Structures are given as structure tokens and as C-alpha cells.
Chain A
Amino acid sequence: MSSFLTQEVPLSWYLLLSAALFSLGVVGFLIKRNLITVFMSIELMLNGVNLSFVTFAHQWHAVKGQIFVFFVMMVAAAEAAVGLAIIIAVFRARATLAVDRIDLMKL
């Protein structure tokens, strides 16, 4: 059990996971047809980027990397609040959340 605390995981694995989450977020943003799911893919992208920030903060022992993640979380929270209010307004106007039917400004 002596390797419990000293077992090494290469940081490139964390970065690969972050890249995977980001690319899945990009794909979700492009292929999903429901407005809320598209918005959730944006949050997935932000989370992937957060993971790579924390990884690099660990690499360089820089606390500023973690503080940037903190700011990203705050901006994501503000963005989620406003974005969901917009989605509710769109639903009130068009009665649908399908992206294919909301793509014109004039009905």
C-alpha cells in the first residue's frame, strides 16, 4: 500500500479527458435539435475547459489557474440565468423548442 499516495497519473490523460469533453460539447452544440440541449452542450464545453485549467494549475503550481476556473464558473452561472430566461421568452413566443422551427426571425 505504499504506492497509495505516490502512484502517478500522467497529466496528459487529464488533458485528453478535457479535450474529449470539449469535442463532445462542440458536437452536441451542432447536432442537437432541442434548444435546451444545445445550451447544455455549451455548459459541457465550459466544464471541459475548466478541467484543463485545473490540470495546468497543478502542473505549474499556479493558483491563478484555479482562480480563472472560479471566474469561468461565475460567468457560466450568469450566462445560464440569462440564457434560460431567453429560452423561456422564446418558448412563450413560438410555443416550441425545436431549433429547426425557431431559425427565422419572422414567422
Chain B
Amino acid sequence: MHLIFFIVFAGFCLAGAINLLLQSHPINSALSLIVVMTSLAVLYLLLGAEFLAIAQVIVYAGAIMVLFTFVVMLLNAGREDRTLGSRAALRIGFPAAVAILALIATVILHAQGLGVARLSDGITTTEELSAVLFTKLLLPFEVTSVLILIAIRGAVALASHDGSKAERTGDR
């Protein structure tokens, strides 16, 4: 059963990733990426990481990809052109992907001591996760919150209209 789940959802991941590369309109790429992220959430669940699975759905698929979708819809940039540069890139790109994958796969397959995953291996509960996160790794956690604050400030500063534009929204 674990095998069937893994093959189905790994298939969705790969299909979504390849579709992201093959589509010319960014909205289709965004939707394929959402498929990849939700399939990855299922794979995390199969590996026993339930909190990460649902965090993947809430944060990645439900917030970050919504942001991407908004930007694609707002900017309405349209389809990519097939220029000379892009055709050359395609001809070099896919063999390059195979080469990188072959390199990493050789290393992985020669590794000794990799175990197996079973559905009966148990789930890492949120309590275990937070016991480490809020005691031993408290400093990185607090630094991450400062990082997010900086990102919010930066995004607001970048997105606000500058004075040289004709119209100003009433953002007092």
C-alpha cells in the first residue's frame, strides 16, 4: 500500500515538475507547481512528518502559491515567446537535467546504510517537534521571526508607489 501511494504521488510530483517546464503560460506552470506541492505534502505524511505535511499545504500551497497566482493574474504577462535564445536553452537544458540527475543518482545508489520506510514506523508528533524547536533551537526560531518582519517591511517598501508615478493611492 505504501508502495502504491509512493508511486502515485511521486508520479504526480514528477508530472507536475515536467509540466512546469513544458508549459508556456505562467499560470499553467503555477498550477503544476501547486500539484507538486500537495503531492509532496502526502509524501511527507508517508514519511511520518504530519505537522510538516500540513504546514506544506498551509504555507506553500495555500499562501506562497496564492501569491504567485495573484502576481501572474495581475501582471497578465502572457505566453513566453519562442526566441532563438530559448530554443538553444531547451536543447542544452534537458540533457543537462539528465546529467545532473545521473550524477546525484550515482551518489545515492552507491550509498550504504540507507534504510526503508514503512507505514508502521510511527508519526512524529507536534509535541516532539515543538519540544526541540522551543528549547534547543529557540534562537533560530526567533531570528526567523525577525527575518519575516524584514521581508514584510521590504515587500511593503517595494510595492508602494513612488512619488514619480502619476496616480497615488490613498494610502495614508
Contact = CB atoms under 8 A, between A and B. Distances in A.
Given A11-B116, A74-B144, A23 B104 contact: yes
8 contacts: A4-B1, A12-B109, A19-B104, A24-B21, A31-B90, A47-B60, A58-B115, A75-B147
Interface of A is mostly: helix
Interface size class of A (residues with CB under 8 A): 35 or more
Nearest to A86: B158
Given A57-B49, A74-B144, A20 B101 contact: yes
Interface string A30-44: 111110110111011
Interface of A: 3-17, 19-28, 30-34, 36-37, 39-41, 43-44, 47, 50-51, 54-55, 57-59, 63-64, 66-67, 69-71, 73-82, 84-89, 91, 96-98, 100
Interface size class of B (residues with CB under 8 A): 35 or more
Given A36-B77, A77-B64, A58 B117 contact: yes
Given A24-B17, A26-B100, A43-B64, 7 more contacts: A8-B116, A13-B6, A37-B20, A54-B43, A66-B129, A73-B55, A88-B71
B107 to A, nearest CB: 9
Given A19-B105, A66-B52, A67-B133, A12 B114 contact: yes
B166 interface: no
A81 B2 CA distance: 36
Interface string B111-125: 100111111110010
Interface in B87-139: 89-90, 92-94, 96-98, 100-101, 104-105, 108-109, 111, 114-121, 124, 128-129, 131-133, 137
Given A15-B114, A40-B29, A58-B117, A73 B85 contact: no
Contact of B111 (A12, A26, A84): A12
Contacts of A31: 21, 86, 89-90, 92-93
